[in-house]
């Protein structure tokens, strides 16, 4: 997900430092609550050499912000230095004073910002504060990389829904299970570890009730050292029919579990789930009687979810793609085929809707043993 590393040519040093800031910010993707995962690098000129005197990235939980951490580490060396920030410094008073004011007070001479903050409380005001204090401000360096890094935050602010990543693990013939109702291991251990990293970088992970029933998953991150970075688990269960004995419900007091239910879901079933520690998220039904996907996504955004990972099953993933809510699709493909009885990856939606569509572009390709990961992004 990182930016280009090439620092040759005019402005190459600026690109290198901004690339550094972007990589720092991405360390806490999925762990900063409703705040963006920002990175900041402070660079001072000393005897003709550029020295990094402060580095920071938004802390887990969203505070302190990256700029304040970097300034504290830089100390007096920040005076006259350049600050590289992956998002416009905040300009509003929240739980902490504005980061734009902190940069002014620290005496930095120049701020290079990758992009303007779309939050109406900021939206250029942070840059204006800096310019009014006589600080040179440049905006837009590695902007495309920054917009991808901050995609969840931007989507929540501008579209009132999360940025959605659909993760699929399919056989060579495009199946996700050997037959209906049967859990099937598709990819190898290395690919599964990559999936767990995706979970750690997401605010929430979503599955349908049928997948929860068949697979009885935990949906946690189980990478050593990142277990605490498990995302909120979300289950689409219109009638609140999630088994209280499932591993999801039994672990609800340890890792957040939200159950999206219909407005008219049975009260007793909802009470049983909330009594076990799950949070009930009521949403309207669509014209077919299923949960309204747009309403669910809005409800998640309202609760601070910026990055949502959809893991299944086929009907849910297919609906997300068909209704135009899939911003990215991570397609893991294993070498073996499952045959004609297998379950199609997207239900009634052709996989070519992603792989051979003008709506999606291939962004990255990776190999994990015999498995291949192709990451597609909506154009």
DSSP secondary structure string for all residues of 151-182: HHHHHHHHHSS-EEEEEEEE-TTSEEESSTT-
Average pLDDT over residues 206-210: 97
What's the rounded Cα separation, in Å, for the pair 14 and 88?
Answer: 16
Domain 161-378 has CATH 1.10.150.130: no
Answer whether 305's CB lies under 8 Å from 156's CB: yes
Answer whether 161's CB lies under 8 Å from 155's CB: yes
Quick one: pLDDT band at residue 1, thresholds 50, 70, 90? Answer: low
Answer whether 300's CB lies under 8 Å from 234's CB: yes
Evaluate if residue 332 carries a pLDDT over 60: yes
211 belongs to an annotated ligand binding site: yes
188 belongs to an annotated ligand binding site: no
Q: What pLDDT is recorded for position 93?
A: 78
Evaluate if residue 8 carries a pLDDT over 70: no
What's the rounded Cα separation, in Å, for the pair 356 and 317?
Answer: 17
Quick one: pLDDT band at residue 46, thresholds 50, 70, 90? Answer: confident
131 belongs to an annotated ligand binding site: no
318 belongs to an annotated ligand binding site: yes
Helix (H) or strand (E) holding 246: none
Q: Which residue in 67, 116, 365, 366 is the catalytic one?
A: 67
Evaluate if residue 169 carries a pLDDT over 70: yes
Evaluate if residue 48 carries a pLDDT over 90: no
Q: Where in the chain is the domain with CATH 3.40.430.10?
A: 161-378
Residue 46: which of 80, 84, 9 has the closest Cα? 80
Q: What pLDDT is recorded for position 174?
A: 96
Percent of the chain clearing pLDDT 70 (strictly above):
97
1 vs 344, residue with greater confidence: 344
Q: What pLDDT is recorded for position 4?
A: 52
What's the rounded Cα separation, in Å, for the pair 56 and 32?
Answer: 13
What's the rounded Cα separation, in Å, for the pair 54 and 366?
Answer: 33
Fold exhibited by the domain 10-149: Cytidine Deaminase; domain 2 (3.40.140)
pLDDT in tens, 224-256: 999 999 999 999 999 999 999 999 999 999 999
Does residue 138 have an active-site annotation? Answer: no
319 belongs to an annotated ligand binding site: yes
Residue 297: which of 163, 149, 154 has the closest Cα? 163
Q: What pLDDT is recorded for position 288?
A: 94
Q: What pLDDT is recorded for position 3?
A: 54
pLDDT in tens, 342-359: 999 999 999 999 999 999
The pTM (predicted TM-score) of the whole model is: 0.94
What's the rounded Cα separation, in Å, for the pair 280 and 227?
Answer: 24
What's the rounded Cα separation, in Å, for the pair 223 and 300?
Answer: 25
Per-chain mean pLDDT for the chain: 95
Average pLDDT over residues 197-211: 97
Look-up: residue for tokens 């004011």? 101
**Range list of H helices, the chain:** 12-25, 66-74, 99-106, 125-132, 143-149, 151-159, 189-200, 209-215, 247-250, 267-275, 293-302, 314-322, 352-355
Q: What pLDDT is recorded for position 131?
A: 97
Q: What pLDDT is recorded for position 11?
A: 79
Q: What pLDDT is recorded for position 9?
A: 47
Q: Are strands 49-57 and 39-46 parallel, antiparallel or unpaired?
A: antiparallel
């Amino acid at each position: 997900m990182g930016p280009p590393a090439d620092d040759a040519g005019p402005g190459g040093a600026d690109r290198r430092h901004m690339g550094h800031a972007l990589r720092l910010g991405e360390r806490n993707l999925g762990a900063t609550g409703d705040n963006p995962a920002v990175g900041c690098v402070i660079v001072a000129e000393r005897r003709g050499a550029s020295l990094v005197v402060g580095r920071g990235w938004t802390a887990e939980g969203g505070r302190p912000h990256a700029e304040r951490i970097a300034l504290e580490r830089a100390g007096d060396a920040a005076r006259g230095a350049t600050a590289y920030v992956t998002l416009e410094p905040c300009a509003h008073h929240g739980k902490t004073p504005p980061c734009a004011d902190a940069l002014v007070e620290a005496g930095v001479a120049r701020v290079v910002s990758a992009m303007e903050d779309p939050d109406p409380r900021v939206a250029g005001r942070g840059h204006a504060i800096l310019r009014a204090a006589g600080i040179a401000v440049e905006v837009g360096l590695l902007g495309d990389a920054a917009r991808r890094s901050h995609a969840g935050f931007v989507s929540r602010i501008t579209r009132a829904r999360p940025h959605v990543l659909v993760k699929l693990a399919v056989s060579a013939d495009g199946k996700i299970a050997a037959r209906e109702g049967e859990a099937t291991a598709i990819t190898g251990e290395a690919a599964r570890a990559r999936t767990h990293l995706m979970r750690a970088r997401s605010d929430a992970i979503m599955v349908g009730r049928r997948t929860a029933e068949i697979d009885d998953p935990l949906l946690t991150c189980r990478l050593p050292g990142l277990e605490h970075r498990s995302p909120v688990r979300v289950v689409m269960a219109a009638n609140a029919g999630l088994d209280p004995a499932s591993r999801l419900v039994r672990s609800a007091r340890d890792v957040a579990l939200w159950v999206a239910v219909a407005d008219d879901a049975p009260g007793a079933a909802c009470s049983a789930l909330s009594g076990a520690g799950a949070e009930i998220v009521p949403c309207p039904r669509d014209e077919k009687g299923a949960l309204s996907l747009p309403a669910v996504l809005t409800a998640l955004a309202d609760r601070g979810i910026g990055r949502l990972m959809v893991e299944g099953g086929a009907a849910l993933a297919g609906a997300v793609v068909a209704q135009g809510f899939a911003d990215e699709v991570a397609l893991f493909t294993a070498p073996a085929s499952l045959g004609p009885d297998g379950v199609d990856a997207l239900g009634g939606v052709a996989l070519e809707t992603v792989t051979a569509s003008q709506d999606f572009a291939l962004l990255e390709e990776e190999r994990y043993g015999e498995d291949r990961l192709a990451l597609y992004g909506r154009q």
